[in-house]
Amino acid sequence: MSDNSDSIQNWSCPLPLPHKDKIVLGHGSGGKMTHDLIKIIFWKYFKNSLLNSGNDAAVFLPTDTKTITGSKFAICTDSHVVSPLFFPGGDIGRLAISGTVNDLSMMGATPYYLTAGFILEEGLEINLLEKILASMQQAAGEAKVNVVAGDTKVVQKGKADGLYINTTGFGVISPGVNISGENAKPGDVVIVSGPIGDHGIAVLTARGELGFETDIRSDVAPLNCIISSIVEASNKIHVLRDPTRGGLGTTLNEIAHQSGVCITIEEATIPVRPAVSSACEVLGFDPLYIANEGKFVVIVDPVDASKVLDVIHANPLGSEAQIIGEVQSKPQDRVLLKTTIGTTRIVDMLAGEILPRIC
């Protein structure tokens, strides 16, 4: 596609928005008001030639992926409905970019392009929308990805909760990289990149549901840079996964099932901040099931475990990483926890719902 970055200037209606402060149904009409909203508000934050072409789809030549032959592609999608929209350490915009960047990263893919689909509720303050878009821009900058296609719909007041954002990601996996949930092998070492449960407790705090204050901030962050550093350092990484909804306990269960192995972890080695631990105790929650948005699990051949741990430690996003366990052949499809009091218990997948709309 030719460069259409100048197409912004081609439009004849750089008028002020007819409804300056709030989203109205007309912003979803597909007509002039939608075009104004996109050009005046959205393009301010996502200016790039692909997005701004004004066509039905973003078109690109995959020239920046030098060795396209032999490479694999990765695609993932994630809708974000977190409540409230802003919480300590982040907001729905940062979450929407990070979540999708991270899902691609966990397959060993380099994220290239993101799309963003917005469902806006009538009455949403444009001010607030702009804050969220600025946060998306910031996170996309950290991750060095571009939002290349977008969509905006508006629903009546009471038919959404402020806004929902879908982000879909497209990435490229270099030849030779084979990281997947079914690759865990007996003997492999299990690493977690830092303290668990921060995101869930931060969102809970923002909802005022804790009944007390905490200084916990969400860990929400794009992890592609730290992931690419460990994938470069070792070709013996078998599994990567970010323990989001469902928490570390559910994530490890998914891997144990996919690989047909047992994952045994030691409670004493799992990093949990004291404030998260206390909050969980008060609420009767297990930190193993609390969501994270800036942590990852690595399952790696023991030969490379300490090298990988060193690389993770060298990055501020992984400075508190720990080896928390290992993979065994039996009992298959199980996660076992060696507790601090010396017993062993089964860690099952999260059964019901403890924290709705955490992401």
Q: Determine contact, residues 163/92, Cβ cutoff 8 Å.
A: yes
Stretch that binds its own copies, among 73-81, 88-96, 212-220, 299-307 (CB under 8 A): 73-81
By CB under 8 A, tell whether 7 contacts its own copies.
yes
CB of 176 to its own copies, least distance (A): 13
By CB under 8 A, tell whether 228 contacts its own copies.
no
CA 317, CA 102: separation in Å to the nearest integer?
13
Stretch that binds its own copies, among 136-144, 150-158, 213-221, 315-323 (CB under 8 A): 150-158
Segment 264-323, which members bind its own copies (CB under 8 A)? Answer: 289, 291
End-to-end distance of the chain based on CA atoms, in angstroms? 35
Q: Determine contact, residues 146/113, Cβ cutoff 8 Å.
A: yes
CB of 338 to its own copies, least distance (A): 22
Among 69, 208, 213, 341, binds its own copies (CB under 8 A): 69
By CB under 8 A, tell whether 208 contacts its own copies.
no
Q: Show the binding pattern over residues 166-185: x = contacts its own copies (CB under 8 A), - = does not.
A: x-xxxx-x------xxx---
Q: Show the binding pattern over residues 332-351: x = contacts its own copies (CB under 8 A), - = does not.
A: -x--------------xxxx
* Cα-based angle 126, 210, 98 (whole degrees, multiple of 5): 45
* Cα-based angle 88, 90, 94 (whole degrees, multiple of 5): 175
By CB under 8 A, tell whether 115 contacts its own copies.
yes
Stretch that binds its own copies, among 40-48, 213-221, 255-263, 335-343 (CB under 8 A): 255-263
Q: Determine contact, residues 271/311, Cβ cutoff 8 Å.
A: no
Q: Which two tokens stand for residue 87?
A: 């919480």
In Å, what is the CA distance from 321 to each residue of 193, 312, 314? 4, 7, 10
Q: Mind giving me the DSSP string for 269-292?
A: GS---HHHHHHHHHHT--GGGS--
CA 76, CA 114: separation in Å to the nearest integer?
10
| 35 class by beta-carbon count within 10 Å (0-12 exposed, 13-18 middle, 19+ buried) | middle
Among 39, 80, 238, 295, binds its own copies (CB under 8 A): 80
By CB under 8 A, tell whether 79 contacts its own copies.
yes
Q: What is the size of the binding site for its own copies (CB under 8 A)? A: 98
By CB under 8 A, tell whether 30 contacts its own copies.
yes
Between 254 and 307, CB nearer to its own copies: 254
CB of 46 to its own copies, least distance (A): 13
CA 254, CA 239: separation in Å to the nearest integer?
11
Among 8, 14, 44, 55, binds its own copies (CB under 8 A): 55
By CB under 8 A, tell whether 116 contacts its own copies.
yes
